[in-house]
Structure 1
Amino acid sequence: MGVYNVHERLLPANQSEVGALIDTLASGTDKLWPKGGWPTMRLDRPLEVGAVGGHGPVRYTVAAYVPSQWVRFTFHGPRGFHGFHEYATFAVDQEHTLLRHTLAMDAHGPARLTWPLILRPFHDACLEDSLDRAELACTGTVARPAHWSRYVRLLRKLMR
């Protein structure tokens, strides 16, 4: 099963300011990865090609990294995830930047069920929370905060 999942937010900030958020991933000063009950993104060393880590059951390696612009993580877990997820910045003009998160993978075996039933709803909620953090970091506020669906709230309750 092919999966292509994109979340993006247009931010009123220049590309270097938005890109600097990517550079904080998995650090003690992470300004992009969501908090509040989401598994922490961890790497075995600072963000660089070859760093290994993940969040929750999702395991990956940093496959490519252009500081303040783009980072790609290739999956090696959970079983059945074959592909990548990445953050990238795209300058729209001097004062606006698009921050995009892309997940592209082939789901095999158990992932054909766990992705649509459990992991995708969590992923979507987590990524919208991440984009809220980016907006907060760039503007000091979030115009339209993300809200978890009833299904995500139910899944979170069941997982406790």
Structure 2
Amino acid sequence: MRARRPAARILLVDGRGRVLLFRFSPADRPPFWVTPGGALEPGEDHAAAARRELREEVGLDLDCGPEVARREVEFLTIEGVEVRADERYFRVDVDACEVDPAGHTELERQVMQTWRWFDRAALAGHAEPIFPVDLADLLAATEPADVRHA
């Protein structure tokens, strides 16, 4: 039986329309890329977890705004636990930012040493897996009305 894992994920988008992804390199499987975010802590709601994860993983302390998407996915965590994750997505648009890894956990320092900003073309043509698999569609669906391209 899979463990339940409520989680908050952040679609962090810069002024050039690029999304920030972290590359995970676990010892037990090939590398993959994911958005910032992670599991809720006890007593925490999704919005509070999104803010905490953004602060810990990126170094930004911002209100992440309203939830823009929700999905349930099953996967094996870095710690080796089979989970069914209830992921809530929050979109945060910034002009620009540099990742500050000071808040990374020891495990994150081991498996999450690389990050980069991806534009839509780079998402489509990337050789390593990117999660969520429909990230480009999710970004398009959550784009603020004042920046949508016709």
Q: TM-score scaled to structure 1, two decimals?
A: 0.28
Looking at secondary structure, tell me which structure has more helix per residue.
1
TM-score, normalized by length of structure 2?
Answer: 0.29
Structure exhibiting the larger radius of gyration computed from Cα positions:
1
Higher relative contact order (CA 8 A, sep 6+): 2
